[in-house]
Structure 1
Amino acid sequence: MHSEMEMLRCAIVRGGTSKGIFIMANELPDDPVQRDKVLLAIFGSPDIRQIDGLGGADILTSKLAIIAPSSRTDADVDYTFGQISTTEAFVDYGGNCGNISSAVGCFAIDMGLVKPVEPLTRVRIHMTNTNRILTAEIPVKNGKAAVEGDCAIDGVPGTGAKITLDWSDAVGGITGSLLPTGSAKDTVSAGGKDYTVSVVDAGNIVIFINAGEFGLTGTETPAAIEADNALMQLIEEIRGKVCQQLGLVKNWQDAASQTPYQPFFAMVSPPSDHSCFNGVKVRQADVDIVSRLLFMLHMHKAYPITGTVATGAAARIPGTVVNELLAETVRQNVLLRIGHPSGVIPVEAAASVQNDQVTIERIGVYRTARMIMEGHVYVRKSVFGK
């Protein structure tokens, strides 16, 4: 059987609340079209079960990290993120994934791409999708990325070594501007009504809207939101029209097929006591804002790091949908606590405002990550055209 197969070295790695396939760039074909065919075969896509590949049949586990030595003098490693569709033969390279990004520094250390320094190794990650630098501080023990620690993140069982990520260089990484439309708030007409949104580019582009505009409390479960087909269609119409406004697509109806990964779409609401779908109880006193976020045309079961980065940035921009929901004391804080479907995620966000211009000075988040499996994946030679 192996005579009909190509054997490629790869790893399965958890980063934050996501899991992905990590593969070195030199394992893949140079031709982009051929490369994507191979990647789809590795994951077993398109197939909603991904039964013939390594994909986890979920948008949070159908993720890719292509790793290479750095092509920049100011970085230690190159990282290209890809979101693998389960329904289409499509790899979306349109943005970053913060959760997967949190594992890149660990992987680079373990693979010998970055010299380990105990107790912390600083890894400068060149995110090739947006040509920005992410700085990660990785705990190191015995020459490898540490795994054990007391850092807990909602959405992941147990605890692990705390990884600190500085996303301050990611502001405007997709469009070149923190506020791509030029305004803190915009009006979008969809479904016969006008809706107020804020569009922020930090980590990824995120469209924010008050959940109350949809008649939601904002604490609904992902399953409950997805079950409302009319709401999901309305969300995609709004998202598509913002895509068209930003020049990501010519016609808003094409956004679902041409740029499904981003922009993200977040429905935000004031703090409240509520229960999460996984049994976690969130107290009003423990959060500053509540959010439910959609990407890849599905609801996120936790909260993406790049969405967290954008939410933190939006909180510091006067007049945004996010900023206006916050208590005055919270607007002045560095720490913002975001309630999400699996619990709470904190983000450190600091900014300065001068002549109505907002400068994001720091966006810090914390994650855990670990290698789950390293080995070889078998791909049919016919996929390579052999």
Structure 2
Amino acid sequence: MTSAPPQLRVPATYMRGGTSKGVFFRREDLPEAARVPGTARDRFLQRVIGSPDPYAVHIDGMGGATSSTSKCVIVAPSARADHDIDYLYGQVAIDADFVDWSGNCGNLSTAAGAFAIHAGYVVPAGDGVCTVRIWQANIGKTIVAHVPVAGGAVVETGAFELDGVPFPAAEIVLEFIDPAEDDGEGGAMFPTGNLVDTLDVPADIVAGGKLKTTLIDAGIPTIFVDADDFGLTGTELREAINGDADLLARFERLRAIGAMRMGLIGSLDEAATRQHTPKIAFVAPPARYLASSGKTVAAEDIDLLVRAFSMGKLHHAMMGTASVAIAAAAAIPGTLVNRAAGGGERQAVRFGHPSGTSRVGAEAKRVDGKWTVTKAVMSRSARILMEGFVRVPSDVC
């Protein structure tokens, strides 16, 4: 009888951050081969999540078979000055064989700040708020998490409510410092240099083959379009969009075309293995609608409507990094997002999404004829769901 390989037993923490959740690791706890980038790391994380799964249910792993729950995070002490931790995020494809490292998860950035304290990397000086300076290794940006603490530990329970999360928790404030991409020549928040671009697209994506877009790289590369150009109102919930295979295919093809225009990929085929970025979202002026929770969102309670896609499906709420992109675009007069919000200059925006509403702020300014965002701020919450060990077959890596 041939002996089967034993299972590895690896320390891990399962955390919710914002409207996402994922498996968190201290880098030093990983199998040695998985501590560095490469195939071994990818294979290990895929097996933890349960991917690739042709059944798309993640029955043999920790994933939840959605873009919000197929995530892994690796945290380590930072070697960079003025930073506490390095935070690396992996978006694990569900039924395809790859891990996308091309961007950040803004929601799990919240949990990364809390995890730094849980893991002993940051020791609070006293009760109150502990500031954790995070180096986001995927995109090379600084995030500052303001985490409530008491008795040397993270305060996880509280009264802060976040639409898309069913239970209240303690509020964590995140600051995304200089979230726009920098090309070394004064910034490239708008990769084409335009606030609005007209893309040439096949007529079966939009009638007439011309589509106005705002292409922005702030928080995460994002393509914004007007809902009306697709016959949508902006009040749609997940079921209405995700049940329409043709509409999903049109948006995915558009995402590839936009990625090419933004210089993120060299050919349309590359978009298939870069599912995490860019994001694509449609916007509309405020309107009354019934959120997925059953709560009525009044038009006067929001500045605009936004619906965003993640990994080919409409997101149940809003990605944290996409919220940064929304805030940045809303702050700059002339973008499609700003127009949907009524125009003018603004430092904060409240938008309606499928689960309810979110508020996010951004400080934008024009320097030498180019727009830049110095900081974006939003509130989220995080808590440990389970901690202990995750097990995977030892022949994985």
Q: Which secondary structure state, in structure 2, belongs to the residue aligned with residue 238 of structure 1?
A: helix
Q: Which secondary structure state, in structure 1, belongs to the residue aligned with residue 178 of structure 2?
A: helix
Sequence identity, in percent? 37
From the superposition, tell whether residues 284 and 177 of structure 1 become closer, same or farther in structure 2 (CA, over 3 Å). same
Q: Which of residues 209, 212, 216 is equivalent to 1:200?
A: 216
1:14 corresponds to: 16
1:80 corresponds to: 88
Q: Which secondary structure state, in structure 2, belongs to the residue aligned with residue 80 of structure 1?
A: strand
**Is the Cα–Cα contact under 8 Å of residues 330 and 346 in structure 2 kept in the other structure?**
no
1:156 corresponds to: 165
The answer to whether structure 1 residue 61 and structure 2 residue 69 are counterparts is yes
2:43 corresponds to: 37
2:130 corresponds to: 121
Amino acid at match of 2:188: S
The answer to whether structure 1 residue 246 and structure 2 residue 262 are counterparts is yes
Q: Give the superposition deviation at 1:37.
A: 0.7
The answer to whether structure 1 residue 295 and structure 2 residue 304 are counterparts is no
**Is the Cα–Cα contact under 8 Å of residues 159 and 170 in structure 2 kept in the other structure?**
yes
Q: Name the CA distance, whole Å, in 2 between partners of 1:92 and 1:282.
A: 34
1:368 corresponds to: 381
Q: Give the superposition deviation at 1:254.
A: 3.0
Q: Give the superposition deviation at 1:3.
A: 6.7
Q: Name the CA distance, whole Å, in 2 between partners of 1:316 and 1:174.
A: 21
The answer to whether structure 1 residue 209 and structure 2 residue 211 are counterparts is no
Amino acid at match of 2:268: W
Residues 226-259 of structure 1, C-alpha deviations (whole Å, 9 max, x = no match)? 222222222112110121223322221331x221
**Is the Cα–Cα contact under 8 Å of residues 292 and 356 in structure 2 kept in the other structure?**
no
Q: Name the CA distance, whole Å, in 1 between partners of 2:369 and 2:375.
A: 18
1:278 corresponds to: 293
**Is the Cα–Cα contact under 8 Å of residues 26 and 119 in structure 2 kept in the other structure?**
no
The answer to whether structure 1 residue 139 and structure 2 residue 136 are counterparts is no
Residues 103-160 of structure 1, C-alpha deviations (whole Å, 9 max, x = no match)? 1111110111001132011000000001111011000011111112221110112211
Q: Name the CA distance, whole Å, in 2 between partners of 1:45 and 1:354.
A: 45
The answer to whether structure 1 residue 378 and structure 2 residue 382 are counterparts is no
List aligned pairs for 1:299-318, cutoff 5 A.
299-318=314-333
Name the TM-score, length of structure 2 as normaliser. 0.92
**Is the Cα–Cα contact under 8 Å of residues 312 and 336 in structure 1 kept in the other structure?**
yes
**Is the Cα–Cα contact under 8 Å of residues 129 and 147 in structure 2 kept in the other structure?**
yes
Task: Compare the two structures and name the one with the higher helix fraction.
Answer: 1
More displaced 10-residue stretch of structure 1: 114-123 or 7-16: 114-123
2:338 corresponds to: 323
List aligned pairs for 1:162-201, cutoff 5 A.
162-172=171-181, 177-192=188-203, 193-201=209-217
The answer to whether structure 1 residue 223 and structure 2 residue 239 are counterparts is yes
Q: Give the superposition deviation at 1:2.
A: 9.9
Q: Which of residues 29, 47, 57 is equivalent to 1:49?
A: 57
**Is the Cα–Cα contact under 8 Å of residues 234 and 282 in structure 2 kept in the other structure?**
yes
**Is the Cα–Cα contact under 8 Å of residues 195 and 334 in structure 2 kept in the other structure?**
yes
From the superposition, tell whether residues 353 and 246 of structure 1 become closer, same or farther in structure 2 (CA, over 3 Å). closer
From the superposition, tell whether residues 173 and 306 of structure 1 become closer, same or farther in structure 2 (CA, over 3 Å). farther
More displaced 10-residue stretch of structure 1: 331-340 or 48-57: 331-340
Q: Give the superposition deviation at 1:382.
A: 1.7
2:115 corresponds to: 107
Q: Give the superposition deviation at 1:161.
A: 1.1
**Is the Cα–Cα contact under 8 Å of residues 215 and 262 in structure 2 kept in the other structure?**
no
Q: Which of residues 3, 6, 10 is equivalent to 1:4?
A: 6
Residues 320-360 of structure 1, C-alpha deviations (whole Å, 9 max, x = no match)? 111112224xx344221010000000001222235542232
Residues 15-65 of structure 1, C-alpha deviations (whole Å, 9 max, x = no match)? 001000001122142451111111111111111111111111221111111
Gaps of 5+ in 2: 204-208
Q: Give the superposition deviation at 1:377.
A: 1.0
2:206 corresponds to: none
More displaced 10-residue stretch of structure 1: 124-133 or 47-56: 47-56
**Is the Cα–Cα contact under 8 Å of residues 107 and 319 in structure 2 kept in the other structure?**
yes
Q: Name the CA distance, whole Å, in 1 between partners of 2:258 and 2:308.
A: 16
Q: Name the CA distance, whole Å, in 1 between partners of 2:167 and 2:245.
A: 35
List aligned pairs for 1:81-100, cutoff 5 A.
81-100=89-108
Name the TM-score, length of structure 1 as normaliser. 0.95
Q: Which secondary structure state, in structure 2, belongs to the residue aligned with residue 323 of structure 1?
A: helix
**Is the Cα–Cα contact under 8 Å of residues 95 and 174 in structure 1 kept in the other structure?**
no
More displaced 10-residue stretch of structure 1: 345-354 or 194-203: 345-354
Amino acid at match of 1:108: A
Amino acid at match of 1:326: A
**Is the Cα–Cα contact under 8 Å of residues 197 and 321 in structure 1 kept in the other structure?**
yes
Q: Name the CA distance, whole Å, in 1 between partners of 2:335 and 2:114.
A: 35
1:341 corresponds to: 354
**Is the Cα–Cα contact under 8 Å of residues 190 and 234 in structure 1 kept in the other structure?**
no
1:259 corresponds to: 274
Gaps of 5+ in 1: none
Residues 245-296 of structure 1, C-alpha deviations (whole Å, 9 max, x = no match)? 23322221331x2211110001000001101122121100110010110021
